Structure 1
């Protein structure tokens, strides 16, 4: 039961710590992801300069194509307008995907090279030309290219003391995207059909906000979620996007190369997986130096006696009992019992010193006998008598000093 309790306590203690180890990347890594793309409505400009003449020429050809009277009236109205067209392309659902290779510098900064692909449905086209024409669009546009990104991992533990397995990050990128469009829109009850096609490229930039989540048990592997905003300057430049107008007989009536898209914005919501190759766990802290335990200091008990006496008082018996109990609670190999007297004696002169030596040994015997009664084995007790030697308190000759009339019990 004790072992099971200890293992359970260890698991409960270490599991949250393992789950809360957020990771910032140092060294090489790869990252892939994909998600939802939302493209903002784009503004287009057509028939600028030469385009006005092309527009009028197209309408003239339409007028001569044997259209019904209502269609001819529509064409005549457009010929009278003779102004530049302002157009919009509306987008629906889309998706995006990317793959990148990067390097973590080690202080939270990362640099990566990314390849990206975006697809967006085109749903509706409106124009100020063709009598304010509009229609439901069938088609899509795509963009593909690459970015160089600089990102910063926010180490919550180091910066704010928050220990969670999540690492937020922010970043910016710059690159180049090519865009391809292919769609068709019937205008004014299919009186004409406007089709866009072509490819062009331009400078692009992006902002990135996201977070990485450590996957438990797989060092270096993280799941990511992020939001990206991509901006593309002048997505389609003059001369690279064709807008062709077809008459009711599905015959091209005009081909305009002066269509230009304004800046394009994509909003993307992405989930991904990232793997860092340099994922070796940090080296364990050095093991603490093993310091041999210091020898346990001997424990000493003092028993005091009346002048010229060896009998134990109640207080002395209590102290001897404490020493006996202590000898069973600590590792004790032997008990040393040393008897002493003060420098006064019942018989003065050299005979007195000899007398005190015997008295000190008698006192040690009294303590030994009490220790044996308290359960200490006799063979564990060594007794000595030192007479007047080694006084606790230095005195003049022939002085009765209570602290020098003692027995020391030393536990070894």
Structure 2
């Protein structure tokens, strides 16, 4: 018989399986044992079988080895036996017999896989890239003020720390103002804001000659507004690491 088996892998050592097989089977009838048959004959017929079983894998002890318990239904096509039976010295008659050949069996056994699949490789965890350090930091101010808030000092400290980790050759500090005052006043106010941020950077350990300070007044708003409008996002100092 040639059998084909299919395992149902469920992630456990217990593996159910089904199978089917085809082949060739021989049926033999012995003289006189069945209805007084006159001769011993052997007939070959196409054979087939169905298989249902379960295997318990012993991989922890012997990789590839498993204990099996299975049931099989085996049968062949019905063989046909023919002969002449002598009734008397002068009289004979045709003897025909076409028996069925099928059986059900239960088997306990061992099976060994010659080529056990290699265990799956351990998942490769992609390295998590460190977040890129920002190169532009914004420090915001209250209306008509240039003194630094606690949050402003935190942002300046972050910029100072980042300048030590990236290839920084220069730090640009640019002051800005909103359009709520005159252009001349806003120019001076943006300068004071830029100077305050530069002084804090120096306090954080940045050399003064590495800092370039500039002031743009109300000429470069982050949010364009009409003249006289108080816009919080325009009251700022930009720190750019270069």
Give the aligned partner of residue 34 of structure 2: none
Shift of 1:363: 1.8
Distance of 2:194 and 2:25 partners within structure 1: 101
Give the aligned partner of residue 175 of structure 2: 339
- Listed as ranges, the gaps of 5+ residues in structure 2 are 32-38, 85-94
Distance of 1:401 and 1:390 partners within structure 2: 14
String of CA shifts for 1:222-278, please: whole Å, max 9, x gaps.
6454322333567794669xxxxxxxxxxxxxxxxx89794444433332536577x
User: Aligned match of 2:206 in 377, 397, 412?
Assistant: 377
User: Aligned match of 2:42 in 193, 200, 222?
Assistant: 200
- Listed as ranges, the gaps of 5+ residues in structure 1 are 1-113, 115-147, 183-196, 241-257
Give the aligned partner of residue 13 of structure 1: none
User: Aligned match of 2:24 in 168, 175, 187?
Assistant: 175
Shift of 1:181: 6.7
CA contact (8 A) 1:200 1:235 kept: no
Structure having the higher strand fraction is 1
Distance of 1:203 and 1:304 partners within structure 2: 99
Structure having the higher helix fraction is 1
String of CA shifts for 1:104-149, please: whole Å, max 9, x gaps.
xxxxxxxxxx2xxxxxxxxxxxxxxxxxxxxxxxxxxxxxxxxx55
Distance of 1:364 and 1:393 partners within structure 2: 19
Give the aligned partner of residue 408 of structure 1: 238
**In the superposition, relative to structure 1, how do residues 319 and 301 fare at CA in structure 2: closer, same or farther (>3 Å)?**
farther
What is the TM-score of this pair, normalised by structure 2?
Answer: 0.57
What is the TM-score of this pair, normalised by structure 1?
Answer: 0.38
Give the aligned partner of residue 75 of structure 2: 231
Distance of 2:223 and 2:77 partners within structure 1: 100
Give the aligned partner of residue 138 of structure 2: 301
For residues 150-161 of structure 1, the aligned pairs below 5 Å read 151=4, 153=6, 156=8
Distance of 1:288 and 1:304 partners within structure 2: 44
Report the secondary structure of 2:220's partner residue: coil
User: Aligned match of 1:267 in 75, 93, 104?
Assistant: 104
Distance of 2:231 and 2:132 partners within structure 1: 32
Shift of 1:396: 4.6
* Count of matched residue pairs: 209
For residues 51-66 of structure 1, the aligned pairs below 5 Å read none
CA contact (8 A) 1:202 1:233 kept: no
Rg (Cα) greater in structure: 1
Shift of 1:289: 11
Distance of 2:52 and 2:112 partners within structure 1: 13
Give the aligned partner of residue 153 of structure 2: 321
